[in-house]
Amino acid sequence: MPELDRPQLRPYLAAAQDQRDPNHVHLWDRLRLNGKSLRVSLLEFLALQMFDGRRTLREIQFETMQIAGGQLLPIDSFARLAERMDGALFLDGPRFRAALQNPVREPACIGCYEADPVVLRRQLSGLFTGKNGPGLPREKQPDGKLRAALIPHVDYARGGATFAWGFKEIFERTNASLFVIVGTSHYSPTRYTLTRKNFKTPLGIVQTDQTYVDRLVAHFGDGLFDDEICHLPEHSIELEVVLLQFLYENRRPIRIVPLVVGSFQDSVEAGSQPSLRPDVARMIEALRKAEAQTNEPICYVISGDLAHVGPKFEDPEPVSEPFLTHSRSQDQAILQKAEDADPAAYFQVIADEGDCRRICGLPPTYTVLEAIRPRRGKLLHYDQYVHPQGYESVSFASVAFYE
């Protein structure tokens, strides 16, 4: 096959040295397209660095032999390596691109939540009924006042009660069946990325509303699918989908619109409102127009956390007091502006500290607040996780927004 003569590694691959045998490296797929991992020798790993789509196998063979001190390496060994990589869908070629055409996005976060549906329902129920939880949602007629809710996307083990407070409010206060989920993009620098894929979890498949996606595309313009692959490993949509399924199964069918948002660091550095950026302004307007054309209620789920600090996030020192108290105080300042439903002031608090605490919920929260302009917000729950040795601290909150 021609693509194997000039092999090219595809994005979203990861590597780590074998802890038992330092002469080998493990490769795995962050997209989890087939669940396979590969073990290669250090020499093969060096050769893989030249799988760039430009070099032929002969050129890769020659350069690898030079690195190996003139060691004779048969061309067949490089051909077999390319075939192994292609079979595992690790090369950018027809097999990989065909796998991307699957209309269903497979779950990427099994482990954060249980794979068995029965056990998963018990796990999710425990988020509501466990320590600091709000109790299970009540079966009552929603008043329809809820427009959006900010929900964490930290793992369930740390964010459980905060997830539950937000989703209880969603269940009790909106009669929407269409949920526009706007989440932080952890894998792509692209500002806004949609997917048409339906989302699969152990609780079944949630349909993506293709008509609504069409409306967003029509109003925003090109570019919303340029890096659609970033949705495959992304957790910020999936963790919200699982809880929506849990709440609404056997009640009413729901649909979603999955949209992830990349960094606003350019606006932070410039000290200017993100809405002044043409692409941000287009998305704000696209969301408004798409909703105006929709003859049913919509609930926006904002998937974002607050501060990310500590050595895990490249800070020089372990987190400890008095910094943790300061961080909580800054979080409260941000959340107060969110409760005021004032996206400009919300952004300014973050920009004034240079986003040094890495508020990952900034892009989706700002986008939604500007698009829907709620009348008020209400803080439902806040928490701050601190690693026992200060390696990291992540804070998060649930905030409801009403018309």
pLDDT tens-digit series, residues 110-126: 999 999 999 999 999 99
Supply the pLDDT for residue 68. 85
Each residue's pLDDT tens digit, 35-59: 778 999 999 999 999 999 999 999 9
Each residue's pLDDT tens digit, 254-264: 999 999 999 99
155 has pLDDT over 80: yes
34 has pLDDT over 80: no
What number is the average pLDDT over the span 340-367?
98
Long-range interactions of 91-96: CB distance < 8 A, separation 24+ = 91/3, 91/4, 91/7, 91/8, 91/9, 91/10, 91/51, 92/3, 92/8, 92/9, 92/10, 92/11, 92/53, 93/1, 93/3, 93/4, 93/7, 93/8, 94/1, 94/3, 96/10, 96/33
1 has pLDDT over 70: no
Residue with the two structure tokens 């802890």: 19
CB-CB contact of 244 with 300 (8 Å)? no
CA angle 22, 28, 29 (to 5 degrees): 160
Supply the pLDDT for residue 133. 97
- Residue 346 to residue 368: CA distance in whole angstroms: 12
Query: 333 φ, ψ to 5°?
Result: -65, -40
Domain residues of the chain, as ranges?
Answer: 2-100, 105-402
Beta-strand ranges (E) seen in 63-197 are 104-105, 146-151, 178-184, 192-194
Supply the pLDDT for residue 3. 60
Are domains 2-100 and 105-402 of this chain identical in fold? no
- Residue 288 to residue 372: CA distance in whole angstroms: 7
- Residue 363 to residue 315: CA distance in whole angstroms: 22
Closest CA to 138 of 178, 176, 162, 173: 173
Query: 234 φ, ψ to 5°?
Result: -70, 135
Query: What's the farthest any 2 CA atoms get from each other in the chain?
Result: 76
Q: What is the chain's mean pLDDT, rounded?
A: 95
CB-CB contact of 363 with 375 (8 Å)? no
Each residue's pLDDT tens digit, 383-395: 999 999 999 999 9
Supply the pLDDT for residue 191. 98
CB-CB contact of 249 with 130 (8 Å)? no
Q: What is the topology classification, in CATH, of domain 2-100?
A: Outer Surface Protein A; domain 3 (3.90.930)
What number is the average pLDDT over the span 266-274?
97
2 has pLDDT over 60: no
Q: Which CATH number fits domain 105-402: 3.30.460.80, 3.30.1180.20, 3.40.190.10, 3.40.830.10?
A: 3.40.830.10
Mind giving me the DSSP string for 77-100?
HHHHHHHHHHHTT-BSSHHHHHHH
Closest CA to 229 of 107, 135, 97: 97
Closest CA to 223 of 275, 270, 266, 188: 188
What number is the average pLDDT over the span 208-212?
98
144 has pLDDT over 90: no
Supply the pLDDT for residue 151. 98
CA angle 218, 369, 300 (to 5 degrees): 65
Question: pLDDT exceeding 70 applies to what percent of the chain?
Answer: 99
